[in-house]
């Protein structure tokens, strides 16, 4: 089977909760109970992140986030990111350990172990699956060097390996923050000066889902520039130009262009190329328009509408579409790849 490059959007995660089924928690006080969690889609963000705001059809969810950030109200972002991390922990655990061979995600990653992935999602679903397949590791698998904590144990006899697949988070990852501050040696007056590092460090901090990466663990928070979860990714706002200047994101885009240049086909799953994301995808589209002879296949229920629009905007690129969900595409045998 071919080894295409993949680009993942929010629709890629849509089938995860249904594939996992009911997730049951256990409590000494109330017995078994169902844990409600899932990867939220756009329509669900209004109630999740702005439950006390009356929905106005003339105001997009992106504008609501932008207004909240402008007012320094970060609770809506915190709700979104906490929900994603919770889904990572509970849903991926269920898919990996209770249904390891039957769900569409396990099938997909096992069939494309040699592939690499670009993603606009914040979650860690792809890297956790490939980590369990010994294809991806956090110290180099993000496409840039990342500082990690590795807990060696004679019991598991795990050895540190290099990644064979890469997962490039184009909007940042909730598991990575940038450390760009350091302190000089104390002067004669015992004063240490805070200054910017010549080269920023990228720190692995998966926080509440750390055990899914064992024997890697979270790095102790760095003094001076610990990246709180609200600041680790590009927020879902209409204009992402400022966020794209982030040093981690800039390096990821550079690596993404290299991967595109050496790929013959890009499979886009669940990404709509919306107007709000134009500043995000335009650099990649411009790159393949000028330097690439491959094809792009869009896998989405409205894939043909997206492909039709993009053919008009970017006629030099070979656009194809498969009008289906991710799960149905996997079950049908990956149409469009050959």
Is 100 inside any structural domain? yes
Question: H or E element: which one contains 150?
Answer: strand 149-150
Is 240 inside any structural domain? yes
Is 337 inside any structural domain? no
pLDDT at position 332: 95
Nearest to 79 by CA among 55, 60, 58, 52: 52
Is 28 inside any structural domain? no
CA–CA gap between residue 57 and residue 20 (Å, rounded): 32
CA–CA gap between residue 4 and residue 165 (Å, rounded): 12
- The answer to whether the beta carbons of residues 119 and 144 sit under 8 Å apart is no
pTM over the 0.85 mark:
yes
**153 by DSSP, 3-state: which?**
coil
Show the domain range for 226. 5-23+34-331
Is 121 inside any structural domain? yes
Is 29 inside any structural domain? no
CA–CA gap between residue 210 and residue 216 (Å, rounded): 8
What's the count of helices (H) and strands (E) in the chain, helices before strands? Answer: 10, 12
pLDDT at position 101: 79
Q: What is the CA radius of gyration of the chain?
A: 21
Cis upstream peptide for 215 (omega within 30°): yes
DSSP per-residue codes, 261-313: HT-SEEEEES----GGGHHHHHHHHHHHHHH---EEEEESTTHHHHHHHHHHH
Nearest to 38 by CA among 64, 52, 55, 19: 19
CA–CA gap between residue 188 and residue 238 (Å, rounded): 50
pLDDT at position 187: 54
Instruction: Identify any residues that bridge with 117 across adjacent strands, giving them in sequence order.
Output: 6, 167
Strand 24-27 relative to strand 31-34: parallel, antiparallel, unpaired? antiparallel
Is 336 inside any structural domain? no
- The answer to whether the beta carbons of residues 246 and 136 sit under 8 Å apart is no
Number of domains in the chain: 1
pLDDT tens for each residue of the chain, 338 residues long: 458 999 999 999 999 999 999 998 888 887 888 889 999 988 899 999 999 888 887 889 999 999 999 999 999 999 999 999 999 999 999 999 887 778 999 999 999 989 999 999 999 999 999 999 999 999 999 999 999 998 776 555 666 789 999 999 999 999 999 987 666 555 555 665 666 667 889 999 998 898 899 889 889 887 766 778 888 999 999 999 989 999 999 999 999 999 999 999 999 999 999 988 999 999 999 999 877 889 999 999 999 999 999 999 999 999 999 999 999 999 999 998 87
287-305 b/e (C-beta count within 10 Å ≥ 16 → b): bbeeebebbbbbbbbebee
CA–CA gap between residue 233 and residue 169 (Å, rounded): 9
- The answer to whether the beta carbons of residues 129 and 150 sit under 8 Å apart is no
């Amino acid at each position: 089977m071919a080894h295409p490059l993949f680009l993942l959007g929010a629709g890629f995660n849509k089938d995860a909760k249904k594939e996992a089924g009911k997730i049951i928690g256990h409590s000494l006080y109330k017995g078994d109970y169902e844990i409600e969690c899932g990867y939220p889609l756009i329509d669900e963000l209004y109630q999740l992140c702005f439950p006390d705001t009356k929905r106005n059809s003339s105001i997009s969810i992106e504008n609501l986030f932008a207004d909240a950030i402008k007012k320094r109200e970060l609770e809506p972002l915190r709700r979104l990111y906490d929900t994603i991390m919770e889904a990572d922990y509970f849903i991926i655990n269920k898919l990996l350990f209770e249904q390891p061979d039957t769900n569409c995600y396990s099938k997909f990653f096992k069939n494309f172990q040699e592939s690499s992935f670009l993603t606009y999602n914040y979650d860690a679903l792809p890297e956790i699956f490939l980590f369990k397949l010994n294809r991806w590791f956090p110290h180099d698998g993000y496409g840039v060097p990342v500082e990690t904590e590795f807990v060696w144990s004679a019991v598991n006899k795990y050895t540190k390996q290099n990644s064979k697949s890469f997962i490039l988070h184009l909007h940042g990852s909730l598991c990575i923050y940038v450390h760009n501050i350091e302190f000089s040696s104390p002067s004669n007056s015992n004063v240490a000066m805070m200054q910017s590092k010549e080269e920023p460090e990228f720190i692995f901090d998966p926080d509440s889902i750390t055990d899914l990466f064992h024997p890697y663990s979270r790095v102790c928070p760095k003094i001076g520039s610990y990246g709180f979860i609200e600041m680790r990714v590009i927020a879902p706002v209409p204009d992402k130009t400022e966020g794209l200047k982030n040093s981690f994101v800039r390096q990821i885009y550079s690596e993404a262009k290299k991967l595109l240049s050496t790929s013959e086909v890009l499979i886009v799953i669940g990404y709509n190329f919306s107007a709000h994301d134009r500043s995000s995808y335009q650099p990649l589209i411009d790159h393949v328009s000028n330097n690439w002879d491959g094809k792009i296949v869009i896998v989405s229920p409205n894939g043909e509408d997206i492909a039709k629009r993009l053919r008009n905007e970017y006629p030099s690129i070979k656009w194809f579409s498969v009008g289906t969900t991710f799960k149905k595409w996997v079950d049908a045998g990956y149409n469009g790849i050959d």
